[in-house]
Amino acid sequence: MLAPVLAAVLATAPVASAPVDDPAEPSAAAKAAFGRAKAHAAAGRYEEAIADFEEALRLRPSPGLHYNIAVCHHRLLLAANEDSPEHEAHRAAAVTAYNAYLDAAPEAADRYAVAATIQDLHGRPNVIDEWRIDAADPGRASLELRDEPEPEPEPEPAPDPLAPPASRRPPPARSPMRPGFPHGMIGLGLSFDAPAPAAMASTAGIDSVPALGPVLRAGGFVGTQRELLIGGELAWSSTATPANRGHRITTFQVLILLDWARAVSASRRVEIGLSSNVGLGGQTMAHGTASPATCPVRASGVVSSRGGLLAGTRVLLRGVLGAKKNHALALRAGPTATLFGGGSKDSGCLMGGPSPFSEYGIPEVSLLMRADVSYAFRW
């Protein structure tokens, strides 16, 4: 008798409903976190403000929250020492947050001003070409926090099943913004070379005056801070030896270039670093009149030539000019190790006869000392 009674009681008992999450709770929690963040920021506690803005962003994503996080990091970097780790950490975080704002609001009215601010912080805007920023001349982003997060969108009304179907046109496709054009530079300079200076100073048949010539460089920056550049270098130099004084040495180089430089001034307009290169090169020995060499290829003009490998590292000092920091003057100086062949000679000479390079004591392995000054346009 007891079992049927229990079954009847259980069948008629009310069933407890499972707890349902209140959709308003995340919104209320996000507003509370936003209010705390604004209070912290008003009191100058930007670290605490960032934590609460990030909490509000997690609960209810909004472009304005990305912007507020960027502003807090920006204010902290302005308060930090220029060369401190804190300054660099907040600079990088501000660039990341400003770019997150642009990603979340690519059509924002202040997008060009925010992109220009990213450039000022040595970052690269994600979605806007730099030439568009320059053409817009937009000013800079405000360091004022945004107000309340954007209101949540109203739900769309349910369609009327009795209404006749309306013809809908697809929305016009919005052309996506092109990614930013890569940073780079191209420059021209004047080099002062001293090939095998010790050997040339002790040789009477070759003038030891420095060799002069042009140098052309071009490359692209890696990363957003423009500290590392990978590119190429073409250089040509020749001693300005009169015809009646001796042989003239001409050196040409085709090099892979790796520049690294870091700003050392508060304005970030003075940079110090290293410039490394490796590649192929060649040398010729020439005489304006009849060469006194024993086995020249020809009696006058280019009497011998040789090719080889070069590798070197130079100290780099660079000054950045212009309101947009797109001009630079640089000084590079240092040694380059050279490994050349013995040099060509007259085929009619004896097998053991020296080439003109060997005859005048210019070794196959030596150092080429170089200093050059250059101008570069940066973008």
| Structure confidence at residue 231 (pLDDT) | 96
| Structure confidence at residue 130 (pLDDT) | 53
| Structure confidence at residue 175 (pLDDT) | 40
Say if CB 102 and CB 123 are below 8 A apart. no
Cα–Cα nearest to 302, from 290, 279, 317, 286:
286
| Structure confidence at residue 16 (pLDDT) | 41
Residue extent(s) of CATH 2.40.160.20 domains in the chain = 184-378
| Structure confidence at residue 38 (pLDDT) | 92
**What secondary structure letter does DSSP report for 124?**
-
Residue extent(s) of CATH 1.25.40.10 domains in the chain = 25-136
Q: How far apart are CA 330 and CA 334, in angstroms?
A: 14
Beta pairing class for 248-263 and 228-239: antiparallel
Mean pLDDT by 10 residues, the chain (379 residues): 45 42 67 92 93 92 92 92 88 93 88 86 72 56 73 54 54 44 86 84 72 94 81 92 72 95 82 95 89 86 93 95 87 95 82 81 90 93
Cα–Cα nearest to 103, from 120, 118, 125:
125
| Structure confidence at residue 334 (pLDDT) | 95
CA dihedral 139, 140, 143, 147 (to 10 degrees): 70
**What secondary structure letter does DSSP report for 62?**
-
CA–centroid distance for 88 within its chain: 16
Q: At 96, is the secondary structure helix, strand, or coil?
A: helix
| Structure confidence at residue 133 (pLDDT) | 55
Q: How far apart are CA 340 and CA 366, in angstroms?
A: 9
| Structure confidence at residue 179 (pLDDT) | 46
| Structure confidence at residue 225 (pLDDT) | 67
Structure tokens given for 252: 């040409």
| Structure confidence at residue 138 (pLDDT) | 58
Say if CB 64 and CB 150 are below 8 A apart. yes
Q: What residue type is 272 in one-letter code?
A: I
| Structure confidence at residue 12 (pLDDT) | 47
Please state the CATH superfamily assignment of the domain spanning residues 25-136 in this structure: Tetratricopeptide repeat domain (1.25.40.10)
| Phi–psi pair at 104, nearest 5 degrees | -80, -25
Say if CB 352 and CB 365 are below 8 A apart. no
DSSP character string of 14-55: PPPPPP---THHHHHHHHHHHHHHHHHHHTT-HHHHHHHHHH
Q: How far apart are CA 158 and CA 166, in angstroms?
A: 14
Q: How far apart are CA 20 and CA 211, in angstroms?
A: 84
Q: Which CATH architecture has domain 184-378?
A: Beta Barrel (2.40)
Q: What is the CA radius of gyration of the chain?
A: 35
Please report where in the chains the tokens 């040409």 appear, as a residue: 252
